[in-house]
Homo-oligomer: A and B are copies of this chain.
Amino acid sequence: MNAAVSASRRRPFTIEPWSVREPELDLGRMAQTESVFALSNGHLGLRGNLDEGEPHAVPGSYLNSFYESRPLPHAEAGYGYPESGQTIINVTNGKLIRLLVDDEPLDTRYGELFSHTRVLDLRAGTLTRDTGWVSPAGRAVRVRSERLVSLTQRAVAAIDYRVEPVDAPVLVVVQSELVANEEVPRPVDVDPRATAVLIAPLAHARHRADPTGATLLHRTKRSGLLMAASMDHEVYGPDGVSVQCTATEHIGRTTVICRLLPGQQLRLVKYLAYGWSGQRSPSALDDQVRAALAAARYTGWDGLVAQQREYLDDFWSSADVEIDGDAELQQAVRCALFHVMQAGARAERRAIPAKGLTGPGYDGHTFWDTETYVLAVLTYLVPDAGADALRWRQSILPLALERATQLGLQGAAFPWRTISGQECSGYWPAGTAAFHINADISDAVLRHVAATADTDFERGTGLELLVGTARLWRSLGHHDAEGEFRIDGVTGPDEYSAIADNNVYTNLMAQQNLRAAAELSARHPRAAAALGVDAEEMASWRNAAGAMRIPYDEKLAVHPQAEGFTDHAVWDFADEPPEHYPLMLHHPYFDLYRKQVVKQADLVLAMQLRPDAFSDPEQMARNFAYYEQITVRDSSLSAAVQSAMAALTGHLDLAYDYLGETALIDLDDLAGNTGDGMHLASLAGSWTAIVAGFGGMRAGQDGRLAFAPHLPSSLARVSFGMHWRGLHLRVAITPDEAEYRLLRGGSAQLIHHDEEIELSGGEPQRCPIPALPPREQPEQPPGRAPAPRRPRG
């Protein structure tokens, strides 16, 4: 079958439980497939570009936190505006393997592609490709490649590349390369001056041809970061194979030539090692990648493959989610977990970007998505990775303290978007003003501490982050004449509102932050004292938390998202044509901000994260229904939260619809921009929607773990697992009962629908699921209801 744009197919993948398979090459979907097929370990990321480099949509090789600085222009300058941005750059491409067949380059746009398959194997952690191609001159070859980015050796990637003639002898030339400053498509939204800076950001530092490979060192021109990429090869083929290596400033090349008869094969195993540093010398970095490469070669291809599977077996043994009754969702959720795992696994005290290392979207920046969505999964599935992400926040505390000072505040003001810790937001009403990120970090700390009971972490990283952020809140808010503690003029999660007083989400999260900082300080008095915390300060935190203002609209009997929100005009949804979504591309912010229209869960997210503050289930249901009517989900961060809260307020089918949207966002390219990278928060949210929504999981900071499961009518069974304080727990839910079981660990107390249960050994506990009271179906704005989920496959 030839490569073709097959617009009629909804998506380019088949439905399989443990893999994502592309059965034919669809050039029109290339950006999307490059993202979905991206391999990463959180340190190194390689987009799913074809081995031969072209055709491509967005070529991409990324090193976590390796960025270039660029100017941030402002039409009107203002105090405290960041002047410099950071953009992740496409580093030296080491995955390039070009092939000449009797002097004609393999390029799927020419000749005939008689077969094509790519498979992302979620258990093997590899991307394999099978291609059958006839050159324009009529020479037929089969190429099979398998690629991995090692989860066990973080500097390493490897490719097993094989080519064989189909029916007649061919002369093949394989050029395995390292290429710096590859041409990349220019970002559309970025200032032209910035684009200029990003066109060829790498300056040559050192290059070397090795006996069976090459090494290139480059430095970014403005940010001054040094990187090294090195490759080495094993070549297997018939006698007479020639191998030559060369290197110039921007290209390292290993050229392999041989004549192949039918039945013969040329096999190349390419080992890649990457490293970067802002401080180490070229010699040190050069040695570092040499060492990594030596280790990879020592392990060998088969060894790397085996380690990869071992790592993933371990991961899936506790992390797997089984969904009976919806094969499409089954695949999507596993693919989601795979990408979330990839983003965090070896990030090791570096930021986890909103797109992981799967694409250039959002400039490679990290937002609150990490703490609120991604860590909400990693904490339970890869707890060490979760801890490391928070230790990264701790490592940028000095910058956050500096930023707070610049803003006239105390404590730590974490950046809204950043790579290396400096604020990079160019629009403060939806950047600096979104102070909730500080409470989101604290929330992630508390979640991690509750889930792991890791006291060292609590006393070290945890306390420092909580104290810094509590101090911020204390100075950001004030007690009014009645004694209430107000936080004015800030922006909550919903980006269709900004600069509002007493945003309920922000205030509730700040309240938790302040309270917990006081509690932790009391629990670790010596560590707290070392941070300068005294009893007076703790009291002021408790007082502020206790007096926190939470506005309430008595007439509507709902919580306004922020002070006065429910007095605003409701957006005129009826007059909004479908093509005007997302609204922000068709309406000015000023109009969105002043009306009741919600881009993404805000008050509804507050209910998910602070259920204790909404003790009356009827109140929760009223709030949920109210915000359903005005939420348009123009952000990919919304559906997961709406799914969880729909489930918790008894709307299971609606929850199921939203779950489909959040889980399939990239496999179905629902936001139309998967090509820029995977939507990690949305993917992670699908796990939370299942576990916190259908599972009704609540993880108390007191160590109590509660479930209140319910399944939507379409699903026969859902099971999920999680780490909890050293235990591995697995929960299986059917329409009528839930089964709890410990896979590891001696015993546990759980709560099932308000009833305590005891687990011990591997003995399952089965508990009946009570019926739900009927509730009126909430409504969405016209045309904005989620697609009704009809299970496929």
Contact = CB atoms under 8 A, between A and B. Distances in A.
B588 A489 contact: no
Nearest to A193: B193
Interface in A589-617: 589-591, 593-595
Nearest to A74: B75
A317 to B, nearest CB: 43
18 contacts: A73-B74, A73-B191, A74-B74, A74-B75, A74-B426, A75-B82, A75-B426, A76-B426, A79-B588, A193-B193, A408-B587, A429-B429, A478-B569, A480-B569, A488-B567, A489-B590, A489-B594, A489-B595
B590 A407 contact: yes
Nearest to A480: B567
Secondary structure class of chain A's binding surface, majority of residues: loop
A192 B75 CA distance: 11
A775 interface: no
Given A74-B73, A480-B567, A593-B499, A432 B588 contact: yes
Nearest to A83: B75
Interface of A: 72-82, 85, 189, 191-193, 406-409, 425-429, 432-433, 478, 480-481, 486, 488-490, 498-499, 501, 555, 563-564, 567-569, 584-591, 593-595
A590 B75 contact: no
Contacts of A567: 480, 486, 488, 501
A491 to B, nearest CB: 9
A674 to B, nearest CB: 21
A193 B568 CA distance: 40
Nearest to A77: B189
B569 A488 contact: yes
Contacts of A563: 564
Given A481-B555, A499-B499, A427 B76 contact: yes
Given A76-B426, A429-B590, 7 more contacts: A74-B191, A75-B82, A79-B588, A407-B588, A432-B588, A432-B590, A499-B594
A564 B75 CA distance: 30
B433 A590 contact: yes
A80 B569 CA distance: 21
A589 B568 CA distance: 24
Contact of A589 (B78, B490, B594): B78
A631 B671 CA distance: 47
Contacts of A568: 486, 488-489, 501
A499 B501 contact: no
Nearest to A427: B76
- Most chain B Cβ neighbours within 10 Å, of A189, A499, A589, A590: A590
Contacts of A427: 75-76, 78
A106 to B, nearest CB: 40
B428 A79 contact: no
A736 B55 CA distance: 91
A569 B591 CA distance: 27
A477 to B, nearest CB: 8
Given A78-B427, A563-B564, A567-B501, A594 B480 contact: no
Contacts of A192: 193
Contacts of A593: 489, 499
A585 B77 CA distance: 10
A595 B76 CA distance: 22
A189 B74 CA distance: 10
A75 B407 CA distance: 19
A526 to B, nearest CB: 32
A275 to B, nearest CB: 32
Given A480-B567, A564-B501, A569-B478, A591 B78 contact: no
Contact of A191 (B75, B80, B584, B586): B75
Nearest to A555: B481
Given A488-B568, A489-B593, A564-B563, A585 B79 contact: yes
Nearest to A477: B569
Contacts of A564: 488, 501, 563-564
A137 B72 CA distance: 53
Contact of A588 (B78, B85, B426): B78
A594 B488 contact: yes
B433 A499 contact: no
A591 B78 CA distance: 12
Residue among A75, A76, A433, A481 with most chain B CB within 10 A: A75
Contacts of A78: 427, 584, 588-589
A255 B407 CA distance: 59
Nearest to A498: B499
A569 B80 CA distance: 21
Nearest to A491: B590
A558 B425 CA distance: 38
Contacts of A72: 75
A573 to B, nearest CB: 13
Contact of A85 (B75, B433, B486, B584): B75
A567 B485 CA distance: 11
Contacts of A74: 73-75, 191, 426
A144 B439 CA distance: 71
A595 B408 CA distance: 13
A78 B431 CA distance: 14
A658 to B, nearest CB: 27
Nearest to A191: B73
A149 to B, nearest CB: 32
A597 to B, nearest CB: 12
B587 A79 contact: yes
Nearest to A78: B589
Given A75-B85, A490-B594, A567-B480, A408 B588 contact: yes
